[in-house]
Each structure stands twice: as C-alpha cells, then as structure tokens.
Amino acid sequence: MIRRVGALVLVLVLALGALAAPAAGAAEDDYPIGPRDVLRVVVWGHDDLSKEYLVDADGTVPFPLIGRAKAAGLTTKGFAALLTTLLEKDYLVNPQVIVAVSQYLSKKVHVLGEGERSGTVYLTGPTTILEVISKVGGWSKAAGRQVVLVRTVRPEPGRPAGGSSIFRLDFGKIQAGDSRENIRVEDEDMIFFPKAQAFFVLGEVRTAGTFPLDKPTSVLEAVTIAGGFSERAAPSGAKVIRRTDDGHQETIPLDLSGAVPKDRDFLVQDGDTLLVPKGNTFFVFGEVRRPGAYVLEKETTILEGITIAGGFTERAAPGRVRVIRNSATGQHTLEVDMNEVIKRGKREKAVALQENDVVVVPESFF
C-alpha cells in the first residue's frame, strides 16, 4: 500500500511539473518523436527502468524487458501508452509510465546569412519562421526585408523525391503575424537572410547618401527619397553608375529634366550609384584618391581633372583611362593613354573635358 501511495505521489509531482511548463507540454503533445531524440522515461517504482533513452536511427528505443519499441512518429503520450501496453502484457501489473523529450535532436532547420546568429535550430514542436528568427537572436541590421526558405521536395505517391521549393517571404508581414508569410518550418528546411540591398544617390540632391532598396524603385523615386534636386542640379545630365555581372563598370546617362522626365521609369538596382551633377560638372571615378564630381570652371584637360581628384592610386592603370561622353548622337568612349601624356610629354593627347564627362581610371591587372 505504501508503495502504491508513493507511486501516486510521484505521478502527481510529475504532472504538476508538466503543468508548471505549459508551453513545453503543449509542444510535446504535437511533437512527433524522431531518430536522435533523447527521451526521459519514468516507470514509477522501477528505478532500473527509469532513465534517458536515445532513439536509434531506425526510430526504435532499446528498452529493458521488452526489447526494441518503435518510438519514431509517436508523441510522448503515444509512446508512453505503447510502453505501458508492452510492460503490462508480460512483466508488470498496472505500470505507470511517463515519457518526456529530454533533448530535441531529430528535427532541425539550418539558418544562414545576415541573422544575428547562424547555425542549426532544433525544433521542439510546431515552429514558425518568426519563432526561428527569435531563436537566432532576432533580425540583423545588415539583413534585408526578405527571408528565403528552401525546402527539399519529399516523395509522395506519384511524385519522386528530388528538387526543392523556394519561398520568398516578407519580414514585415511575418512580424505582423500574416499566416501566409509566417509559415511553419519543416525538418531540414534551410532559411537564408539575404544582405540588405541598397543604392546610393550623390551630387546635387538635398540628402545624399545610401538608401535601402526594399522594393522596385525608379530613379525619380530615388531622387525623391534623397530629398529632391538641389537648386544647382542639372537633371538632364543625371547618370547611373552600375557594375555589371562580369565586374565591369558602365555609365548609363539619364534625362530627368522637365515636368515629365524622359527616363523617369528607369529602375535602380542593388549597388547602383545615381549621380545628379551641377551645371558644368565632370566626374572622376576609379583608381584616383578622391573620386567624385567636380565643377568645370575653365578649360580643363583630363590630366588636370585627374590631378584635381587627387591623382592616381598605386593600383591605377594610367594606360587604360577612358572618358565617357554623351552627345546628341549618343554615348561615346574616348581611350586615353595617360602614360603618353605624363611620361612622354604628349600633351596634345590630354583631351579637354566637357560638361558631364565621366573619367574612369581602371585598376591595373598586375
């Protein structure tokens, strides 16, 4: 009788412990046990049976007296019921069995990219994207506003395994609790936080700087975000400096003048620099010490323009300097070998700069 009372007290203590942690209990109610999970099994009155058990790769648990019991796919309550049935069949009278997950190791997702922390998150039950973000320390300032989830396609009747599905989710909507965006993750999902995309607006705008590119943005919208044109701006000479996929830099002339600008719908891309010049301005970019926009106050040669921009850096390739010039017939590129100008004294090759010229000094290959 004393033994039975003691056992009932143990059961009550464990039950009260479960009530003290409702979140964990709720998770376990729905959590399907899997390989590599560690289970804490208590069989009252039998200390030799009450201990932690590892779920093997085949989903079974080696258990004294009854051999292997299939745990994978069952909840903790389901596995406790199975052990109770197997133990009372031949060995124990009215066994009292309680099962809890000691370590959740069977189901996990992988987090990469610009979160506060990368790594593996083990799932303790039904888990949403927002809960995973919380587990890795929240949202990094370097991250963009998009979450990319990659999920392996699992085999189904009539559909073989292989391939993956990609979900692009909006972090703002996830935070707001939109169930279409704050989806539940699955075992072996890969969650990637891309780096924030940005563009730059320089020159004659009221608030030059770096701005997030979190939605499609036209050049005219970019100017608005940067506070609008200054009173000295020359909108007809605006340019986008863009690095191409092969690593080269291209200059795209834009006309943003007038009530309905000709190029108002041109979209900026990640990393673009939008330049709004002053009237009578030229630009120097690349391997010079002070790249930027400069006022063309008098007749200025390319040599003088590079000097105004601080001169060449040690990585410069003076023999491959280019001047990009726009005219009524389109964009033209002038190749200038500055070695001939500087070292060989051929000053006639130092072309005179014109308004809105862009001087590009490339990096040396060696």
The predicted pLDDT at position 34 comes to 92
Contact 282, 356 (CB under 8 A): yes
Q: How many CB atoms lie within 10 A of CB 271?
A: 13
Q: How far apart are CA 307 and CA 302, in angstroms?
A: 9
**CB distance 63 to 83 below 8 Å:** yes
| CB-count burial class (<10 Å; 0-12, 13-18, 19+) for 148 | middle
3-state DSSP assignment of residue 8: helix
- Contacts for 168 with CB less than 8 Å, ≥ 6 apart: 146, 147, 148
Place of tokens 């009215």: 94
CATH topology for the 198-361 domain? Outer membrane lipoprotein wza fold like (3.10.560)
Token pair 């002070």 is found at: 290
Per CATH, 2-103 and 198-361 having the same topology is answered: no
pLDDT at 86: 95
pLDDT of residue 277: 84
Eight-class DSSP state of 15: H
Closest CA to 152 of 167, 140, 139: 167
Q: What pLDDT, on a 0 to 100 scale, did the predictor assign at position 80?
A: 96
- pLDDT score at 8: 40
**Looking at residue 271, what is its pLDDT?**
87
Q: Where are the domains of the chain?
A: 2-103, 108-193, 198-361
Instruction: Report yes or no: 333 and 323 within 8 Å, Cβ to Cβ.
Output: yes
The per-residue pLDDT for 15 is 40
Q: What is the dotted CATH code of the domain comprising 2-103?
A: 3.30.1950.10
The whole-number pLDDT of residue 6 equals: 41
Fold of 108-193: Outer membrane lipoprotein wza fold like (3.10.560)
Torsional class of 245: left (φ above 0), alpha (ψ -120 to 50), beta (otherwise):
alpha
pLDDT along the chain (366 residues), means of 10: 40 39 52 93 95 95 94 95 94 94 92 84 90 86 81 68 77 89 92 86 90 90 93 86 81 88 92 86 91 83 94 94 85 92 88 90 84
For residues 124 and 21, the answer to whether their CB atoms sit within 8 Å is: no
Query: Is-above-0.85 flag for pTM?
Result: no
